[in-house]
């Protein structure tokens, strides 16, 4: 069997590497228009950072896992084509800022139609609006040739930083297909691939539209939990309740569950905001304005949480941060990734910059991306070493929950900072009493302030 995957990004690369590892008898060809990315996949310096990914790729590379820019041959030779190209939020025209931009995806569909000489199963891996498969089928079958394309939906639920673990041991795999003979045959082909390493009871099948909508809904629900606890974090600060205690108390209710209840400066990442906005747009398209407004609030609370964090910094630092040096500890949208897409750090740095703060950014993996994200801001400093970066700083803002930030020598850092030395824990994960006893002015999301000055 021969698989082609169009799009060698965060989703396509790791997913195909796992299929190749688990199915040595299947030839997996990952193609992309981006030559640099393809070269990187073939090198020792992979284009994305994911714990454990290097070993998975190396195990199958050039055995049954191939990366190439020869898209046409890969399409032509394939029995199954996974489409895993980017579907960012539209920046122009109708639905700008909300709807998915499907231009890359449609280009793929057209290419597949033009190049294919035999029947193929087409699998949507990219997150797409509901009923996109229908549009894809129309494009693929537009010239009325005898070639049959069976379109399935198989959304990817992996999270960055734990992609390898999520692929190896997923909660579930979802495959959506049409309720026709050819649809069900195609679903079974994909089920059999995953069944090489995933127990059958974890492989769910559904109709195509349910599968497409489940992906958007899963991300919307996860993001909603983060926004929900973040609203409570604001209330905690006003009432001297502690959000960690509240999260723990509600999370022990098995109906609620404990995951995704960590208060923070808000969610980032390439999926949550994009997928909710997409859901909002879809609801509006179907005239469901109340439903659209409900989900829109999840994004608005996320923005509010970031603005609120900056406001706390300014207020605590005597209502001005102009000329004050603020160390940003962590720029990635979460720990264990170099990815900064939609990272709350971007908005927070821009707001601090607008207040004329002097910004130094430190992150173990994300500095290259941070530089690109803030390319238009002058005089931002980037320093990998948190100790060097903290010299003479007035404040530290912890924006990513990197484990190593728990183990820094905060006494040494304090000694090198200007006084009063402030620390703003946007991830609510440091030992605040310990920091306060060193001498820091401490603020933490959902816990409020501990001050030596009041």
> Would you name the residues annotated as active-site residues?
271
Report, in Å, the least distance between residue 156 CB and ligand ADP. 8
Of 104, 157, 197, 294, which lies in the binding site for ligand UDX, with binding defined by CB under 6 A?
Answer: 157
Stretch that binds ligand UDX, among 110-118, 133-141, 143-151, 157-165 (CB under 6 A): 157-165
Q: Which does 291 bind (CB under 5 to 8 A by kind): ligand UDX, ligand ADP, none?
A: none
Q: Are 444 and 432 in contact (CB under 8 A)?
A: yes
Q: What are phi and psi of 289, to 5 degrees?
A: -65, -35
Quote the Cα angle for 316-408-338, to 5°.
90
CB of 163 or CB of 359, closer to ligand UDX:
163
Report, in Å, the least distance between residue 291 CB and ligand UDX. 21
Report, in Å, the least distance between residue 295 CB and ligand UDX. 16
- Among residue numbers 18 through 77, which ones bind ligand ADP (CB under 6 A)? 32-34, 37, 71
Q: Are 325 and 349 in contact (CB under 8 A)?
A: no
CB of 21 or CB of 215, closer to ligand ADP:
215
Residue 436 in contact with ligand UDX, rule: CB under 6 A: no
Beta strands in 316-357 (DSSP E): 325-329
Closest listed residue to residue 443, CA positions, set 342, 320, 314, 346: 314
Task: Count other C-beta atoms under 10 Å from residue 330's C-beta.
Answer: 27
Residue 335 in contact with ligand ADP, rule: CB under 6 A: no
Closest listed residue to residue 312, CA positions, set 437, 407, 451, 412: 451
Residue 260 in contact with ligand ADP, rule: CB under 6 A: no
Of 107, 159, 288, 438, which lies in the binding site for ligand ADP, with binding defined by CB under 6 A?
Answer: 107
CA separation (Å) from 256 to 71, 209, 252, 393?
46, 27, 7, 41
Q: Which residues of 137-166 are buried (b: 16+ CB within 10 A; e: fewer)?
A: bebbeeeeeeeebbbbbbbbbbebbbbbeb
Stretch that binds ligand UDX, among 100-108, 113-121, 131-139, 266-274 (CB under 6 A): 266-274
| Binding-residue total with ligand UDX (CB under 6 A) | 19
Q: How far is CA 67 from the centre of its chain?
A: 23
Q: Which does 159 bind (CB under 5 to 8 A by kind): ligand UDX, ligand ADP, none?
A: ligand UDX
**191 three-class SS:** helix
Report, in Å, the least distance between residue 436 CB and ligand ADP. 40
Q: What are phi and psi of 80, to 5 degrees?
A: -130, 135
Q: Hey, what's the torsion of the CAs at 64, 69, 71, 75, to 10 degrees?
A: 0
- Among residue numbers 320 through 349, which ones bind ligand UDX (CB under 6 A)? 333-334
Stretch that binds ligand ADP, among 7-15, 199-207, 308-316, 405-413 (CB under 6 A): 7-15
Task: Count other C-beta atoms under 10 Å from residue 109's C-beta.
Answer: 24
Residue 260 in contact with ligand UDX, rule: CB under 6 A: yes
Stretch that binds ligand ADP, among 6-14, 22-30, 170-178, 274-282 (CB under 6 A): 6-14
Q: Which does 268 bind (CB under 5 to 8 A by kind): ligand UDX, ligand ADP, none?
A: ligand UDX
Cα within 13 Å of Cα(89), Cβ side: 21
**382 three-class SS:** strand
Report, in Å, the least distance between residue 14 CB and ligand UDX. 11
CB of 13 or CB of 448, closer to ligand ADP:
13
Residue position matching structure tokens 């706390």: 312
Stretch that binds ligand ADP, among 79-87, 212-220, 221-229, 250-258 (CB under 6 A): 79-87
Contact track, ligand UDX, 270-309, x by CB under 6 A = -xx-------------------------------------
Q: CA 170, CA 189: separation in Å to the nearest integer?
A: 19
Cα within 13 Å of Cα(233), Cβ side: 31
Footprint of ligand ADP on this chain (CB under 6 A)?
Answer: 6-12, 32-34, 37, 71, 84-86, 104, 107-108, 126, 270
What does the binding site for ligand UDX look like in residue numbers (CB under 6 A)? Answer: 156-160, 219, 222, 226, 260-262, 264, 267-269, 271-272, 333-334
């Amino acid at each position: 069997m021969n698989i082609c995957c169009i799009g060698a990004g965060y989703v396509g690369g790791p997913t195909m590497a796992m299929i190749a590892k688990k199915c040595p008898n299947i030839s997996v060809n990952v193609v992309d228009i981006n030559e640099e990315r393809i070269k990187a996949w073939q090198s020792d310096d992979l284009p994305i950072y994911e714990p454990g990914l290097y070993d998975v790729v190396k195990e199958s590379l050039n055995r049954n896992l191939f990366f190439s820019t020869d898209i046409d041959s890969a399409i032509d030779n394939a029995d199954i084509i996974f489409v895993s190209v980017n579907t960012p939020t539209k920046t122009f025209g109708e639905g700008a800022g909300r709807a998915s931009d499907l231009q890359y995806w449609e280009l793929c569909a057209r290419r597949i139609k033009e190049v294919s000489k035999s029947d193929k199963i087409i699998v949507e891996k990219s997150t797409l609006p509901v009923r996109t498969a229908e549009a894809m089928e129309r494009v693929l079958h537009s010239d009325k040739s005898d070639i049959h394309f069976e379109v399935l939906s198989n959304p990817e639920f992996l999270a960055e930083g734990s992609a390898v673990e999520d692929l190896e041991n997923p909660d579930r795999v979802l495959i959506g297909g049409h309720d026709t003979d050819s649809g069900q045959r195609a679903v079974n082909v994909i089920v059999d691939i995953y069944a090489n390493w995933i127990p059958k009871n974890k492989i769910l099948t559904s109709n195509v539209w349910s599968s497409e909508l489940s992906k958007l809904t899963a991300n919307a629900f996860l993001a909603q939990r983060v926004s929900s606890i973040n609203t409570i974090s604001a209330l905690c600060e006003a009432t001297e309740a502690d959000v960690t205690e509240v999260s723990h108390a509600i999370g022990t209710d098995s109906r609620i569950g404990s995951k995704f209840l960590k208060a923070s400066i808000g969610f980032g990442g390439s999926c949550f905001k994009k997928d909710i906005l997409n859901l909002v747009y879809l609801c509006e398209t179907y005239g469901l304005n109340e439903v659209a407004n409900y989900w829109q609030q999840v994004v608005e609370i996320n923005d509010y949480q970031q603005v609120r964090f900056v406001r706390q910094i300014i207020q605590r630092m005597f209502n001005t941060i102009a000329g004050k040096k603020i160390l940003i500890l962590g720029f990635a949208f979460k720990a264990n990734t170099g990815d900064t897409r939609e990272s709350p750090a971007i908005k927070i740095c821009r707001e601090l910059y607008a207040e004329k703060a002097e910004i130094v950014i430190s992150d173990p993996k994300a500095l290259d991306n941070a530089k690109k994200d803030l390319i238009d801001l002058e005089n931002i400093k980037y320093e990998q070493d948190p100790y060097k970066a903290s010299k003479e700083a007035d404040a530290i803002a912890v924006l990513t929950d990197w484990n190593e930030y728990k183990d820094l020598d905060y006494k040494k850092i304090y000694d090198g900072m200007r006084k009063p030395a402030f620390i703003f824990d946007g991830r609510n994960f440091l030992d605040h009493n310990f920091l306060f006893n060193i001498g820091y002015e401490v603020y933490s999301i959902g816990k409020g302030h501990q001050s030596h000055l009041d």
